[in-house]
Structure formats: structure tokens, C-alpha cells
Structure 1
Amino acid sequence: MAACMASKSGGQDSILEPLCFPDEEAASSSGLDEEVVVVCVLCPESAPLSHKERLLKHLVLEHKLVISDVKLIADFPKYMVYWKGRFLEQPLTDFCSVIKTNSEGPVDKQEHYFLLCDVLPEDRGLREQLQQKRLVEILEQQQRERDDTTFQRVCMFCSEDFSGNRSTLLNHMAREHSFSIGLPDNIVYSTEFLDTLQSKLDSLQCLYCEKTFRDKTTLKDHMRKKAHRRINANNPQYDRFYVINYLELGKTWEEVQSEDDREMVDDDDDDWSDWQAHPVCAVCLFCEQQSETMDKIYTHMQNVHGFDLHGLRTELNLKFYQQVKLVNYIRREIHQCRCYGCQERFVSKAEALRHIMDSGHVMKLPQISTWDQPQYFFPTYENDALLCGLPDSDSDSEGTAPRSGGDVPVFAEDMTNLRVLKQTSVLNQLLKNRGPYN
């Protein structure tokens, strides 16, 4: 589904992409630790991690050992420690492929080199294990940044001060300055990322073409006129700040994005008679109750929480898309620990729900103009099956199919505001600047 756009509704909105309903202490910086020392797997020689090329050169010249695709190893120091232990147990030839050079020349000119690569099952398993551990660390760090409310930073374009969650600044730069580095929830180590960008601007360097200018005014005019208010997607320096680059071993973001499901299609097997679709469960607006039928979830919300969605639809004469916007609005307000009826904010979602129930705000909606907005076309939760089961405005009260025949008038939604919003939205900027960071 499409991603959610930023909006304001009783406060700053921090959602820029759909959430997801759940299925049934890592490092605080992504920078390479220059103090870490990496030891050779075959001798006491060592080098700082920041100068690992020197150690790799030593391996080739002194031990004739070549390690392939070093850049794809998630944790190089731990990789080296593992193989140092294994080489103490068994000889090198038990693990590595042996390559003979100058095989057709004189025997005294021939040399044997040893290749350590992920074709070997043990090496492949080690790389995957390190990659998985790194991914867990990255996701934990990302979650901490999502939940952090102590973030504070000045906008690099207008010097406005922002505090709270990092998304407030990122959304501001995308909305007010047309500068988007991607969706906040796709970014990790955001403070270091922003430090890197600020350092480039302080050095009078364009963020896109990376040319250096004589003063800030010239740089500002250049980035505006050349539409260079974006980062260079081909600069690998930024890769570590995006979660997509940690997802799969040995795959760059280009390969992940270019994967085509058509490659997995077997044209010889077109028999779908045994296909069994997994049932999609709709989730209650107020708790974690799930149901495979819309009738049960509607009944649950009405009997347990006193929320009558059908009643609101009839009372307010809501069209289908208005129901969609209402559900997305309620989902978003509750997710942000806010009462959708009175806009009061709480510390936790549980407190917000308790207030909604205790104060009788379950069926209290703000003015329709508050939630009947284009941004609520986009789902708050990407897998929200409740949206798929909403009855059409021309259906009867039981949610059956619309009446057939040509006498049923269809009125188009007023999309004027949506088109205007789309032109200035973060999504529009992301489509213009397609790359690994969308």
C-alpha cells in the first residue's frame, strides 16, 4: 500500500509511512571504531580496523591468503577471530580453495594461493550469522531512535530549532525545504547522518554534486537552481544510514530494489487448484482482538468498546472513502497516544485508550473537516484488513454487495486538495529522487 504522508492534527504528526500490525543494548553509533585492532589469522601481525587494507595486503604477501568480498562481511574483526581459531585447529588447506599460479611454467616459479570465500559452506554460514547479528543490532538501534523523544537539533537550512522526535526535523526539511533523505523509519543512526550532511554544508560543499563553492550564498543558489537539494544516491558513504543495506547478505540496495517476482514464476506449473489463501484478520480499533470476519469485529467493537462504526456511517452519511479516512484517522491518533475526540495527548497508548473509554469519547468525533483530509487516504497500518471490509456507500446496512444496474449514481471524490498536496508531498519528492533511500 501507499505510504502515509505527513500531516498536522492537534500537533505534529510523525507518521510518514504505514505501520504494521504485529504477527502472532546495541551500539549507539554506526561509525567504525578506529580503536578496534584486527589480528592476522595466521600470525601476530595486527592493524587498526580503519586500516584493514594493510592487513589484507599482509595476508596476500606473507601468507598468500586471499579473502573475497571483504566489504560484504558484516563484522570483520569477529570474522578474523573465528578463522584464527579454526586455523589453529586444522591446516589451511582443510578450509580454503587452493589456486596454483604459473601452472604451466617451471616448478620453482609456481606458487599456491589460498582463497577464503562464501562458496565454502562454513565461511558462508559465518557470514550469514554475522549479517543476522548486525541486522538485529541495526533494528534495535532504529527502534530506539523511533521511540526517542530527547532528540534536539537545528535545521540546516533555516536554523529553526526542533526537539522531541527526529521525525519532526526530517519532516520539516522535506515539507518546508524540499529536502528529503527518505522516510524517517527507513533511516538509522540519524544523528550521525545529519552530522555528515551538516559538515558538508559547513565546508561549502553541494550535497548532490559534491562541488565546493566560495561562500554560502553561492552554494545556496546553486542547490536551489540546479535542484540539488538532495543527496547523491551513488555515494556509498550514505549506505550505512539506511536499513535496506543491512537486509540481505551480498546484496546492494540496487539489487534488492531491482528484484522481480517474475523471475520466480514457473511457466510450466500453472495449476493453481491447490492454492489456499491465508485468511486475513481484521484488528479492532481499540485493542488487539482479531477476527476473520467483518461482522465479528464490528460486533466486538460495539459490545466491548461501545463503538458503532455502522451507526456513524448512517448518522453522518459517510461515503466509502470517508469511512477509510475515518478509520485511518482514529488509528493514527491512538497510535500517537492521543484522544481522537478531544485531542488530549497522553504518555502511552494505554492511557489514551483508558481516557477515551472513561470520558465517553468513544463515539465523540471532532468536526468532519478534521479527519476528512486527503492524507488519511493513506493507511496508518499497511496490513489493515479492516479497510478492505468497509461497506460501500451504496450497499445495504448488512454490508452486502452494491445493487446492480445503471441507475446507481456514482459521485467522484473531490480530489482538488489531494492534487495540490501531492505536488508538495514527501512522496512526490521521493518519486523524483528515486534511489536506495526511498
Structure 2
Amino acid sequence: MAACMEDKTEEEDSILEALCFPERPAPRTSSSSSRGKEVVTCVLCADSCPLSEKDRLLKHLAVEHKLVIADVKLIADFPKYVLYWRKRFTEQPITDFCSVIKTNSKGPVEKQEDFFLLCDVLPEDRILREQLQQNRLEEILEQQQIERDDSSFRRDCMFCNEEFTGNRSSLLNHMAREHAFSVGLPDNIVYCQEFLDTLQGKLDNLQCLYCEKTFRDKITLKDHMRKKQHRRVNANNHEYDQFYIINYLELGKTWEEVQSEDDHEMLEDEDDDWSDWQAHPVCAVCLFCEHQSETMNKIYDHMGEAHGFDLHKLKSELNLRFYQQVKLVNYIRREIHQCRCYGCQQKFATRSEVLHHVVEAGHAMMLPGMSTWDQPQYYFPTYENDALLCALSDSDSDSEREGHGGDVPVIAEDISNLRALKQTSVLNHLLKNRGANI
């Protein structure tokens, strides 16, 4: 936790995921469209073609070399896969790696042919495929991080032409909120610009995004999508799979298979022995500095004595419900991380300067209007595993919370908008707090 509480510069004025360790510059990867222009060379000769025409190369392998590659669609990086086997086939005979299948085995000898099958039954091939899948996932996550940190995003809404700048989430949330068109949570999307270009192209061609029928004019298309509730993308159109992180998670599994999995079998496994489970105490970290404590009373006392901040008093004065407290804590953490006073919004060069200002100016208990911090984006934690969030409650006092053994009912806020996002999502993503890792 302490490692991620360093002073920030003016350029790092956004937090789009739970903080963990200091961010390192991520290499920019190519878009999914540019990958199709890569050239792939045959594993056994000099014949080559663009990756977008790999079916022609596969036909060439089967016809000219009698070589068949199994489950090509499960190969995460086909060019690297081919490059690897091209090298290996120069080192050892192809029969050392491939199963030999004889065709027309009961027919005339002159019509019999031997075909070679390269598949993941071979341990070396299986390891290669899994490694390529892991590498692709890492590349995709790096690309997604770049997009999440990108503040230069600029694009018009495809429904009302309102311009959005700063970050992609502002546009995606606007379309979900104002136009009931959700493509899923922004954090689950990669290659966002290309995704939006694809959707915009379909609308420009007067094509419904859900049923994909074409209409004679924009007014007819608009009325159709509104009346038929077709303001969503077609989940069965695999053209969209490349834009969702979930499709890169596990080798050979689609998003439907990943989401349909449950832990039923693991829950019923009576052989699991949890007797050696040891719970480690979780330290709560001060909202303002790096001070930590294993008890909430001590951390609250510290914030009051060192920084003049009383969360219990604010909760009582503003009559804050549980989720409002969560959003307030995440808002304050985010503003402090960005070296900005959460009360007056004054920006400083370093973290120490903003903390000095908060105390000296008496802004510790000064909050902006609720419309500033009582926002959906602050449902998500600024810091991963923030123990302070776990100590919040709806009770009026600590004694009430202790008197009920900590079993305090939580009164939920109206999250119908978030539920709508989940239900209309093309992938029906589960709402969850997401860290940097999957």
C-alpha cells in the first residue's frame, strides 16, 4: 500500500482502476485490425500470405504438404505458432511431431496418401499454445491499461452527436445512461476505438446493431431499434469477441463457457482440508498518510488527531448511508492520490504539499457538494483491498455496531442503472470491483 502512495505529477490526473503498485509504462500493442496485415510464411516452404488470408495458407499446407493443423481457432498467435514449428521442422523430421493418417487405406496403393496432423496431443504443441495464450492475454491487458489511462480520448456519441473527451468511459457510460445502449462495463473492453468504429460503420450503413437488418433511412432504423429494444449488439456475432477481455482469459473457452462455470464441484469436495487455514490481520490505512493500524478505532483516532478528520461526524451530519460512505472514502483517496485538495479542489505538486494545505487551511472536514463525490464511479475502490471500506456501516454509533455483533443491515442505494447495464450488456458481465489483474 505504501508503495502506491507516492507523489504524483500533473500528468497523472486520473485513476481508472484500483491502485496497487506504481504503474510502469506499458508497451503499446497493435490494434486487432493491424494484426491482420502480418505476413505468415509456410512452415515447410517459402510460400506466404497475410494473416487475414490464413485459410489460403492452411489450404496450401493440406494440398501441397499434406499437413493439417488442428484447432487453428484456438491458437492465440498464429504467426508465432507457425514461426516456432518452421524452426522445429528444420531440426527434426516432421514425423517426430505429427501423427500420420493414411487415407484410402483399404483402396489401391496408388491412391493412398499420408497426411500429417499437428495438434495439442503432442505435449510440446500444447505447451506452445498455452504460452501463446498467456502472452496474448498479457498484451491485451497492457493494451487495455493504456486505454484506461488515456486522457486524450475524443469522440462524438453515435446517437446524439454530443462530443466526449478525456476518457472512453465518459462516452460509454453516457450511451448506456442516456440512450439505453450498453456494450458492457468500460473496464471489460479493449480496442475501444476500433469497436466504436465498427458500430458506427454499421449505423452509417443503416444496419441495426442487434438483428443486423438494413433499413432504407436513418429515421426508420432509429424507430426500429427503439421499438424492438434493439439498442444492443448481437452477442452471437463473433466479430465483437475481440473487443472483450473475457474472450482472452482461457485457452479454448468462449465467454459463454467462462461465465457458465461455477464452483459446485469444488464446494462439494469433502477431501479439502481447511484445518491449517490461518487468517492474517488486515491493516487499515489512513486516508491521508501511510499510517496503518490493525484496529479501526486506532485508525479513526489517528485521522482525528493527525489530520483533523472525523468520518463518524461527517456520517452523522450528512446522514450518509453505507454506499455513500464508500463513495466518500474512495473520492477522498482519489483526490489525495492526485495531489488535489478534496475540499477546495486546489492542485499541488506533491502529496506532502496537499496534506499540509488540508491541515493548515482547515479543509479536512470541508466537502464539496454531494453531486461531486456521490457518483457511480466512486463505487469502485481507489486502492485494492482497502480495509477501511470493510469497517463502514449504517449504524449511528460504534456502540450500536458492537451491540449487534457487527451484523448491521445495509440499506442499499438505488442501483437500477447499474443493473440495467448488467442486463443489457452483450456479455452479461457480473458487476464486480476489478483490480489490475484478472
TM range (shorter): 0.7 to 0.9
- Structure 1 residues 389 and 257, CA gap change in structure 2 (3 angstroms): same
2:388 matched residue in structure 1: 386
Q: Is the 8 A contact 1:326 1:371 kept in 2?
A: no
- 1:22 counterpart = 2:16: no
Structure 1 segment 183-222 matched on structure 2, within 5 A: 183-222=185-224
Letter in 2 for 1:384: D
Q: Which moved more, 1:327-336 or 1:48-57?
A: 327-336
Letter in 2 for 1:178: A
2:403 matched residue in structure 1: 402
* 1:88-121 Cα deviation digits (max 9, x unpaired): 0001111122223334445444332222122222
2:178 matched residue in structure 1: 176
2:248 matched residue in structure 1: 246
> Given the alignment, which residue of 131, 134, 137 partners 2:133?
131
- Structure 1 residues 128 and 320, CA gap change in structure 2 (3 angstroms): closer
- Structure 1 residues 157 and 60, CA gap change in structure 2 (3 angstroms): same
Structure 1 residue 158 displacement after superposition: 0.7
Query: 1:301 and 1:239 mapped to 2: Cα distance?
Result: 47
> Given the alignment, which residue of 155, 158, 168 partners 2:157?
155
- Structure 1 residues 45 and 308, CA gap change in structure 2 (3 angstroms): same
1:435 matched residue in structure 2: 427
Q: Which moved more, 1:137-146 or 1:319-328?
A: 319-328
Query: 2:158 and 2:350 mapped to 1: Cα distance?
Result: 31
2:112 matched residue in structure 1: 110
- Structure 1 residues 318 and 210, CA gap change in structure 2 (3 angstroms): closer
1:8 matched residue in structure 2: none
- Structure 1 residues 231 and 96, CA gap change in structure 2 (3 angstroms): same
Query: 1:411 and 1:276 mapped to 2: Cα distance?
Result: 28
Query: 1:412 and 1:391 mapped to 2: Cα distance?
Result: 7
Structure 1 segment 269-348 matched on structure 2, within 5 A: 269=271, 271-287=273-289, 289-310=291-312, 312-313=314-315, 323-334=325-336, 338-344=340-346
- Structure 1 residues 89 and 346, CA gap change in structure 2 (3 angstroms): same
Structure 1 residue 164 displacement after superposition: 1.5
Q: Is the 8 A contact 2:184 2:427 kept in 1?
A: no
| Length, aligned pairs only | 411
> Given the alignment, which residue of 60, 64, 67 partners 2:66?
64
1:166 matched residue in structure 2: 168
Query: 2:409 and 2:123 mapped to 1: Cα distance?
Result: 62
1:51 matched residue in structure 2: 53
Q: Is the 8 A contact 2:233 2:426 kept in 1?
A: no
- Structure 1 residues 362 and 227, CA gap change in structure 2 (3 angstroms): same
Structure 1 residue 149 displacement after superposition: 1.4
Q: Which moved more, 1:298-307 or 1:249-258?
A: 298-307
Structure 2 residue runs without a partner (length 5+): 1-13, 431-438
Query: 1:226 and 1:336 mapped to 2: Cα distance?
Result: 44
- Structure 1 residues 195 and 354, CA gap change in structure 2 (3 angstroms): farther
DSSP-derived class of the 1:31 partner: helix
* 1:166-202 Cα deviation digits (max 9, x unpaired): 1111111111111111111111111111111110000
1:259 matched residue in structure 2: 261
> Given the alignment, which residue of 139, 142, 149 partners 1:140?
142
Query: 2:18 and 2:398 mapped to 1: Cα distance?
Result: 31
Letter in 2 for 1:435: L
Q: Is the 8 A contact 2:184 2:421 kept in 1?
A: no
> Given the alignment, which residue of 219, 222, 225 partners 1:223?
225
Structure 1 residue runs without a partner (length 5+): 1-13, 405-409
1:10 matched residue in structure 2: none
Q: Is the 8 A contact 2:331 2:378 kept in 1?
A: no
Query: 1:350 and 1:244 mapped to 2: Cα distance?
Result: 40
Q: Is the 8 A contact 1:180 1:426 kept in 2?
A: no
